[in-house]
Chain A
Amino acid sequence: MDHPYLPILILMFFAFIFTVVTIIMSDLARPSKPNAEKNSTYECGAPIFTDARGMVSVKYYIIAMLFLLFDVEAAFLYPWAINYDKETLGLFGFVEIVIFIAILLVGYFYAWRKEAFEWES
């Protein structure tokens, strides 16, 4: 057991245990006297004005979709970036990634032009 990621596993284990133990401990230790006021949702002290499960605008979908697409694009840049070196990919890789980004840039301007980034309308 000398895997380099072992410490992370151990950390995850302790994080899990800590969470579970804290919840159980506080549940055992605290007095339980609920009333309607205590059970209501706490929203920074302000009264709640709508149900949390209402529907939100479809604009959020576009934002998430664009985030996902550019995230995938960025994911392709990591392995390129660490290989961008005279001895490895070099100019070849540079031209390659420029084409890749140029094609996606068309999409970026498309989204811009179609006001996908505009929030107020």
Chain B
Amino acid sequence: MVGTKMIETLHTFTSGDFTGLMPEIILCAFVLLISIYDFMSKNKDKEIVSYLTQIGLLATLISVLSLIGDTAAGDKAYVAYNGMFVLDNFAIFLKAVVLMVAVMTVAISHKYNKEAGYESGEYYTLIMFAVLGMMIMVSGGDLISIFVGLELMAIPCYFLTGVFKKDSRSIEAALKYFLMGAFSSAVLAYGISFVYGVIGSTNLEAIASFFDLAVIAKAKAGVGMAVTPEIMSAASAELATRLSNPIFYLVLVLFAAGFGFKIAAAPFHMWCPDVYEGAPTPITGFMSTAVKAASFAIFLRVYATGLFALHVNWAFTLGILSALTMTVGNFLAVTQKSVKRMLAYSSIAHAGYIMMGLVSIGIVTFDGVTLSINRIDDGMASVLFYLVTYAFMNLGPFIIIMMLRTKRNSGEMMADFHGLGKRAPILAALMLLFMFGLTGLPPTGGFIAKYYLFYAAVKANFTWLTIVACVNTAVSAFYYFRLGMVMYMYEPKIDEEINASPKAVHAVLYICVLVTLWIGIFPDKFFEAAKHSLMRLKYLL
């Protein structure tokens, strides 16, 4: 036989390959079985599918949480499938958040879709596919698996945006989202190709060791040889050329554009208001919390592991993007007449705040000999902490918008909120609470989350950014409180009764309220959890 040689070795499965991947395997099995059940059953009412989806997501959540014990002790993390998949506490933390948001989204969707006349089982399976993509993505140890996970997250979202297919806004939003999203994915893939071209690997560990002085010195010395001072200085020189390799500027620009699109950072935010407005409200809530959290998580994972050494090159640029993002978001939010659109702009602004934590993950200096990385652990933890807090306090307002929908009114416009204090005192009070949270006022979690972010930014010498953020917070207070004023000081414009919502919707709303308040009053546990999970981030420099 000619040419039957095998260069690669077959993958030998370890227990970690199955244990670590168990949540994904469970979710995958559920999503396939639910898909089959959905298209085989003749039942037009999809309530059962919605319950099955919740069961599947909860089962996955339990299996994710059961993994905590395995990775909490020591520095143990599963690295499976040749470094493609990393299960560390960071991934578990994010997976738990995403799954919780997904369960809540599914729980509130059924009646909403039924009333709109767009009931479909695919709606639920697509949500599960998106969650599966996020789980693969936040566990990605290699840019390839991150990219595949990112796409598996993004493609269901394009479809979910357009699921109300006779509503021209929904279809327009889906098309815009898809075109821009596809383009940004291409940009990201292009960036990844350059990383591969320079380093010869897309693995995050390999990228980190590319900038590791000890690794370079060892390679220079050869196998089993001692590292002499001459070799050490040669290695330092090599590291200096690697750090100043101009291609990394291009890589960083392409990555910033690719990831920046997913988190809706200015100037890549253009899709966001239209998509958030056009998408079904539960999906808007899902996209502005779960998708955003997962995208930020992967942004953080890539930048805090492989690309941390290049911090000097990207921190300032991302700082400027952060300032731009929050300013654009807040100033445009002021002029909006639709509450849903206002929240979309506010979500852009919040992406700006979170990016502030991203640039403050540490201070990296290269003195010509060694690369010293001073991590600011609070900075990194503040990103995660903000993501959790934001997930709950931003889902709440969307649920309220959903509950305000009546036969004739969408519930999305400012007019729907006129005099809400009289029409539905409880909903108005909760909305006000969420607005407090989004502004960053105690006693909500929003205050603590913002406090940690600002603190980290000051610590990382980004004082100017903190000042910009403070000014922005003041601007944001204007439109958040205008909504409060509209609810309490204006007379109702709409005389329709507010429909009774199912118990599940109320339950989810109260969970959001409780978590927002709980984080605000007892933040320590949450912050410790965020910090703990970050310190276990695999390949953290």
A and B in contact, CB less than 8 Å: yes
Binding site for B on A (CB under 8 A): 85, 87-90, 92, 103, 106, 109-110, 113-114
In the bound complex, how far is the Cα of B6 from the Cα of A92, in angstroms? 14
Q: Kindly provide the distance from the CB of A11 to the nearest chain B CB, expressed in whole angstroms.
A: 27
- CB closest chain-B residue, reference A88: B6
Given A92-B11, A103-B32, A110–B6 Cβ distance below 8 Å? no
Q: Kindly provide the distance from the CB of A39 to the nearest chain B CB, expressed in whole angstroms.
A: 39
In the bound complex, how far is the Cα of B32 from the Cα of A112, in angstroms? 16
A113 near B6 with CB under 8 A, answer: no
Which applies to chain A's interface (DSSP): helix, strand, loop or mixed? helix
A109 near B39 with CB under 8 A, answer: yes
Residues of chain A lying within 8 A (CB to CB) of residue B40: 113
Assess whether B500 is interfacial by the CB under 8 Å rule: no
A109 near B32 with CB under 8 A, answer: no
Given A85-B4, A88-B4, A113-B39, A106–B32 Cβ distance below 8 Å? yes
- CB closest chain-B residue, reference A99: B28
Residues of chain A lying within 8 A (CB to CB) of residue B1: 87
Given A92-B10, A92-B11, A106-B32, A114–B4 Cβ distance below 8 Å? no
Which applies to chain B's interface (DSSP): helix, strand, loop or mixed? loop
Beyond contacts A87-B1, A109-B39, A110-B39: 12 other A-B pairs, Cβ-Cβ < 8 A, are A85-B4, A87-B5, A87-B6, A88-B6, A89-B10, A90-B10, A103-B32, A106-B35, A106-B36, A109-B36, A110-B35, A114-B39
Closest 7 CB pairs of A and B: A113-B39, A88-B6, A87-B4, A92-B10, A110-B39, A106-B32, A85-B4
Count, chain B residues at interface, CB 8 A: 11
Most interface-central of B4, B11, B40 (chain A CB within 10 A): B4
Binding site for A on B (CB under 8 A): 1, 4-6, 10-11, 32, 35-36, 39-40
17 of the cross-chain contacts (CB-CB < 8 Å) are A85-B4, A87-B1, A87-B5, A87-B6, A88-B6, A90-B10, A92-B10, A92-B11, A103-B32, A106-B32, A106-B36, A109-B39, A110-B35, A110-B39, A113-B39, A113-B40, A114-B39
In the bound complex, how far is the Cα of B108 from the Cα of A81, in angstroms? 46
Residues of chain B lying within 8 A (CB to CB) of residue A114: 39
In the bound complex, how far is the Cα of B39 from the Cα of A75, in angstroms? 27
- CB closest chain-B residue, reference A107: B35
Residues of chain A lying within 8 A (CB to CB) of residue B32: 103, 106
Residues of chain A lying within 8 A (CB to CB) of residue B36: 106, 109
Most interface-central of B1, B10, B36 (chain A CB within 10 A): B10
Q: Kindly provide the distance from the CB of A82 to the nearest chain B CB, expressed in whole angstroms.
A: 10
Most interface-central of B5, B32, B39, B40 (chain A CB within 10 A): B39
Residues of chain A lying within 8 A (CB to CB) of residue B39: 109-110, 113-114
In the bound complex, how far is the Cα of B32 from the Cα of A106, in angstroms? 7
Q: Kindly provide the distance from the CB of B158 to the nearest chain A CB, expressed in whole angstroms.
A: 14
Q: Kindly provide the distance from the CB of A115 to the nearest chain B CB, expressed in whole angstroms.
A: 11
Residues of chain A lying within 8 A (CB to CB) of residue B4: 85, 87-88
Q: Kindly provide the distance from the CB of A32 to the nearest chain B CB, expressed in whole angstroms.
A: 46
In the bound complex, how far is the Cα of B134 from the Cα of A113, in angstroms? 29
- CB closest chain-B residue, reference A87: B4
In the bound complex, how far is the Cα of B2 from the Cα of A87, in angstroms? 12
Q: Kindly provide the distance from the CB of A71 to the nearest chain B CB, expressed in whole angstroms.
A: 18
Q: Kindly provide the distance from the CB of A98 to the nearest chain B CB, expressed in whole angstroms.
A: 14
Residues of chain B lying within 8 A (CB to CB) of residue A88: 4, 6
Q: Kindly provide the distance from the CB of B165 to the nearest chain A CB, expressed in whole angstroms.
A: 12
Residues of chain B lying within 8 A (CB to CB) of residue A90: 10
- CB closest chain-A residue, reference B10: A92
Q: Kindly provide the distance from the CB of A75 to the nearest chain B CB, expressed in whole angstroms.
A: 16
Residues of chain A lying within 8 A (CB to CB) of residue B11: 92
Q: Kindly provide the distance from the CB of B169 to the nearest chain A CB, expressed in whole angstroms.
A: 20
In the bound complex, how far is the Cα of B5 from the Cα of A101, in angstroms? 26
Residues of chain B lying within 8 A (CB to CB) of residue A92: 10-11
Q: Kindly provide the distance from the CB of B292 to the nearest chain A CB, expressed in whole angstroms.
A: 28
In the bound complex, how far is the Cα of B125 from the Cα of A106, in angstroms? 13
Q: Kindly provide the distance from the CB of B516 to the nearest chain A CB, expressed in whole angstroms.
A: 39
Residues of chain B lying within 8 A (CB to CB) of residue A89: 10
Q: Kindly provide the distance from the CB of A51 to the nearest chain B CB, expressed in whole angstroms.
A: 27
In the bound complex, how far is the Cα of B25 from the Cα of A103, in angstroms? 13
In the bound complex, how far is the Cα of B1 from the Cα of A106, in angstroms? 37
Q: Kindly provide the distance from the CB of B22 to the nearest chain A CB, expressed in whole angstroms.
A: 16
In the bound complex, how far is the Cα of B4 from the Cα of A89, in angstroms? 10
Q: Kindly provide the distance from the CB of B478 to the nearest chain A CB, expressed in whole angstroms.
A: 46
- CB closest chain-B residue, reference A86: B4
Q: Kindly provide the distance from the CB of B35 to the nearest chain A CB, expressed in whole angstroms.
A: 6
Q: Kindly provide the distance from the CB of B125 to the nearest chain A CB, expressed in whole angstroms.
A: 10
Residues of chain A lying within 8 A (CB to CB) of residue B10: 89-90, 92
Q: Kindly provide the distance from the CB of A7 to the nearest chain B CB, expressed in whole angstroms.
A: 23
Q: Kindly provide the distance from the CB of B232 to the nearest chain A CB, expressed in whole angstroms.
A: 43
- CB closest chain-B residue, reference A91: B10
In the bound complex, how far is the Cα of B399 from the Cα of A2, in angstroms? 68
- CB closest chain-A residue, reference B31: A106
In the bound complex, how far is the Cα of B367 from the Cα of A13, in angstroms? 57
